[in-house]
Structure 1
Amino acid sequence: MSVEPLDIRQLPFTAPESMALVADLLADLGARYGSSGDDTPLSASDFDPPNGAFLVAFLDGEPVGCAGWRTNEGDADAAELKRMWTAPAGRRKGVAKAVLKAVEDSARAAGRKRVILETGDKQPEAIAFYEANGYERIPDFGYYKGEPGVRSFGRTL
């Protein structure tokens, strides 16, 4: 299913549209996991080209989805997917798939060879989405490596 008219723009992580979507994501994760949402250390500059990018999807002018990638520390060939979120207004409309493809295209254009990500067992819809889009389990990495319930995935670009 595709969305018309969907407009995906590269914006700074600190743009108001980016920050609003990320706040909603972190609130959802906090409710699921009983935490702040995601304590992974990151900086807005992690998403600055050429070492990353942050993308926001707009549907009829309203921000409905986002995701960013940053170069994985210790593996310059890998883009780490971060802050993937689709607002309720964008769900079941192809927004997530379009944003994921845009992230992959951006990472590929910047010379990355694969995308990796961390998610968790309390996000079954995210796990199903990534698996349906060609992602496979990889050894856990990153901030939550070794934590119960962490699920790491990757896909070659």
Structure 2
Amino acid sequence: MSNAAALTPVHLEHVDWHDPRAVELRARMDAEMSAVYSAGREPDPDDVVAARDAALLVHPEKVRATLLVVDPDGTALGHAALYDRGGEWEVKRVIVDREQRGRGIGRLLMAGVEADARAAGAPRMILQTGDRQPDAVALYEKTGWTGIPTYEPYVTTIPQSICFEKVLVGAEQHAG
């Protein structure tokens, strides 16, 4: 990446789940994660693949917010969504364009979803990532997320899951 690219200002934009830029970033994420998780592993049986796909499926009507980080010309550089997982606020589909990593885009996305969840009164957020995504794990830890036991539907469908929570409601708010 050039120095000029590193200095290009970016901003958060709330978009519809079906925004073509969001769809494109999610497709790139799917391709990247497929390559990461298939490398060195035998292909999973069809029933395992189907269960994993069902666990990862996002129902658009349950998306509370879709955020993009965009550059001045509107090119999407990163994506994250807030999802209603049975009353829990789950952060899903966090991706930063491969060429744009290391610019703070992931931090900006995480701050954006946190601000949205706080504004809506969410007590906490949860998320799931995988054991072959050390950069994602590092981002979550640096931005104040705490490891938690793997939660459903990932317990049996994606056993290599690493799960986190970020508590948004402090003890002082519970005491009142």
State the TM-score, normalizing by the size of structure 1: 0.86
Residue 124 of structure 2 corresponds to: 114
Write 1 or 2 for the structure with the bigger share of helix. Answer: 2
Deviation at 1:144, TM superposition (A): 1.6
Deviation at 1:141, TM superposition (A): 0.9
Output the aligned Cα RMSD. Answer: 1.9
Query: How far apart, in 2, do the equivalents of 1:148 and 1:72 lie?
Result: 18
Query: How far apart, in 2, do the equivalents of 1:90 and 1:100 lie?
Result: 16
Residue 18 of structure 1 corresponds to: 22
Task: String of CA shifts for 1:93-148, please: whole Å, max 9, x gaps.
Answer: 11110011001101111111111001111111111111111111112113221443
For the pair 1:69 / 2:68, whether they are aligned, the reply is no
Note the residue ranges of structure 2 that are not aligned, 5 or more in a row. 1-5, 39-43, 169-176
Q: Give 4+ residue runs of structure 1 displaced > 4 Å after superposition.
A: none
Residue 46 of structure 1 corresponds to: 62
Residue 161 of structure 2 corresponds to: 150
Query: How far apart, in 2, do the equivalents of 1:9 and 1:88 lie?
Result: 19
Query: How far apart, in 2, do the equivalents of 1:145 and 1:41 lie?
Result: 15
Q: What SS does the corresponding residue of 2:102 show, helix, strand or coil?
A: coil
Residue 109 of structure 2 corresponds to: 99
Residue 60 of structure 1 corresponds to: 72
Residue 128 of structure 1 corresponds to: 138
Amino acid at match of 1:53: A
Task: String of CA shifts for 1:63-120, please: whole Å, max 9, x gaps.
Answer: 10000011221xx3x3100000000232111111001100110111111111100111
